[in-house]
C-alpha cells in the first residue's frame, strides 16, 4: 500500500512541475535546444 502512495505522489509532483514549466514557457526553450542538438549531430548546425 505504501508503494502505491509513493507512486501517486511522484506522478502528481511530476505533473505539477510539467504544468509549471509549460506556464513559464520552458517548453519552447527545451524544443529549441533539442533542435539545435539534433542539427549539430547531423552536421548542419
Give the pLDDT confidence of 6-45 residue by residue, as tens digits: 999 999 999 999 999 999 999 999 999 999 999 888 887 5
pLDDT computed for residue 45 by the predictor: 58
pLDDT computed for residue 44 by the predictor: 74
pLDDT computed for residue 34 by the predictor: 92
Q: Where are the domains of the chain?
A: 2-42
Whether residue 5 is predicted with pLDDT greater than 90 in this model: the reply is yes
State how far the Cα of 7 lies from the Cα of 45, in Å rounded to an integer: 40
8-state DSSP, 45: -
Whether the model pTM is above 0.75: no
For residue 37 the three cell numbers come to 542538438
- Backbone dihedral angles phi then psi of residue 44, each to the nearest 5 degrees: -95, -15
For residue 20 the three cell numbers come to 509549471
Length of the chain: 45
Amino acid at each position: 500500500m505504501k508503494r502505491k502512495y509513493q507512486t501517486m505522489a511522484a506522478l502528481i509532483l511530476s505533473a505539477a512541475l510539467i504544468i509549471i514549466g509549460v506556464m513559464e514557457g520552458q517548453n519552447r526553450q527545451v524544443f529549441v535546444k533539442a533542435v539545435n542538438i539534433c542539427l549539430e549531430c547531423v552536421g548542419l548546425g
